Amino acid sequence: MSVNTEIPVDTLEPERILELILSALGDLIEYELAVVLGLDGRNILSVRKAAGPLANERLSRYSINLRDRGDLASILERGEPHLFSEDEDHVDTYEGIIDLPHGHSCLVAPLSVAGTRIGLLTLDHRSCGRFTPGLVRFIGSMATLISLSVAQSDERAKLQITNADLVRQRNALLTPGYEPIAGLVGSSAAWIRAVESLRLAADADVPVLILGETGTGKELAARSVHRLSARAGGPFVALNCSALAPSLAESELFGHERGSFTGASGQRRGRFELADGGTLFLDEIGDLPLELQPKLLRVLQEGSLERLGGERTVRVNVRIVAATHVDLEAAVRSGRFREDLYYRLGVFPVRLPPLRERPGDALLLAELFLSEIQKRPGFGSVAMDANAAAILDTLSWPGNVRELRNVIERAAILARGTMISPVHLGIQAAPADSPPPKAGGHPRTLADAQREAIENALVRSHGRLYGTGGAAELLGMKPSTLQSRMKKLGITSGGSRRKEVDT
């Protein structure tokens, strides 16, 4: 037996190091079987590595219950190597697996790290007297090296399992079709930054303030924060503060007791109690009545409330995600919103950009809406012609994503489930400031827009399709869908276009 000393040490796996140690041990001690057993739990020894001419396949699956082997358990407990004498009565360690003659040479050494027993090293030879008492101390030193290798291997295995779990979680979070971020479609830099901020906000169990114009998708963003957070298994309760009647607003938020006001025929839990253990989404928080703001601040600070007409304090564990389209700082300056509540809610502000600041995203969103409409009876053939597609990305969309969805829905109905043209969008011609047609006088087609978006994403991702920062993530598409679209448009992973063949 010899060791290949030319193998770079930093490239060796712990199991390979263990194999090399046993091989080197064979150069010093004439054994026919060397076995390293790991201690699983407190009572089971399982074979980790075997070497020597007597090693076989059955041995690799062998385990020993220490309850049945008091002699081995005693050696482990003492923590010192033991050389069995020829006349010492003991059960063969590998009885039933390897046929060893009576009185054969057998040496056993416990494996431990920092006082913790982790296994056993056994050396066997069919001949008598092969191992001398003088070897016992040497084997004890070798057992220390083997113990370190076994411990390193165990830690590496645990780390690999942990890493695999983290990779699965990361891949799930980065998969565009993953439910918690489903619907957050876009490839523009501004939108990608906003989505990353939402992911960061989800990890921190603090209030989140989502800022953005009407129709930018604030409730969808709030639901994504909830689904990505540790509270995902709890309730998500939404309340639009602008729709609250001033006389009933306190009851809606905090609940009421029977008889607390005219018509209160029974006890009623408020939105805070309904959201206990989960997330309460307060939309249009800027419209919350001023007289309720101190009570909301108390719940945020103390985690407790009192129902309207009640005297008992109710504890709640709720995360607040608030949203508004108004300038809360201006509302604070004018006295319409409490400054202390503003700072309490704005621990982690996230701004959702309007659609006009998201170049190329209108086309991606329109395609998403069309794919949803195509699933409805009678709309399976609905599509958008090149002229209509060319117009979408040139408009300012003051109503943002909500307006775009409504326009696509109406256009699909007007087109009777067939081809949508500019007239169905309610637009006869492109605005005066729209980009000029491409060279040659041809209008910009939907395929051109898709190709440009994909090629831009490939450039930004350096040609990567999968994983974090990959083109699929940037475009909000499943990787398989992106590959299919690239094949259809003749785009390679490098972003170049295949030459078209005339037919």
pLDDT of residue 310: 82
- Residue 225: HSE in the Cβ half-sphere, 13 Å Cα cutoff: 33
CA-CA distance, 473 to 379, in Å (whole number)? 28
pLDDT of residue 332: 93
β-partners of residue 107 are 83, 123
pLDDT of residue 454: 82
- The pTM of this model reads 0.53
Q: Two tokens at 244?
A: 């609250």
CA distances from 283 to 55, 162, 176, 198, 243 (A): 70, 38, 26, 16, 10
pLDDT of residue 350: 94
**H or E element, residue 314:** strand 313-315
pLDDT of residue 234: 92
> If you write DSSP's letter for every residue of 325-367 in order, what string do you get?
SS-HHHHHHTTSS-HHHHHHHTTEEEEPPPGGGSTTHHHHHHH
pLDDT of residue 427: 63
Sign of CA dihedral 331, 333, 334, 337: positive
Contacting residues for 191 by C-beta, under 8 A, at least 6 apart:
184, 353, 358, 361
pLDDT of residue 323: 95
Region label for 287, one of left (φ > 0), alpha (ψ between -120 and 50) or beta (otherwise): alpha
CA-CA distance, 53 to 160, in Å (whole number)? 32
pLDDT, mean of each 10-residue run, the chain (503 residues): 46 71 84 89 85 87 86 88 81 82 86 87 88 82 82 75 55 47 78 89 91 93 91 92 81 84 80 93 92 91 88 90 93 93 92 92 89 90 86 87 93 89 70 42 58 78 76 75 79 55 35
Q: Two tokens at 155?
A: 């830690």
Q: Two tokens at 152?
A: 């390193």
Query: What type of residue is 14?
Result: P
Number of H helices, E strands in the chain: 16, 15
**β pairing state of 419-420 and 279-283:** unpaired
Please name which of 137, 154, 146 lies closest in space to residue 50, comparing C-alpha atoms.
Answer: 146
Q: Two tokens at 17?
A: 């190091």
Coil, strand or helix at 256: strand
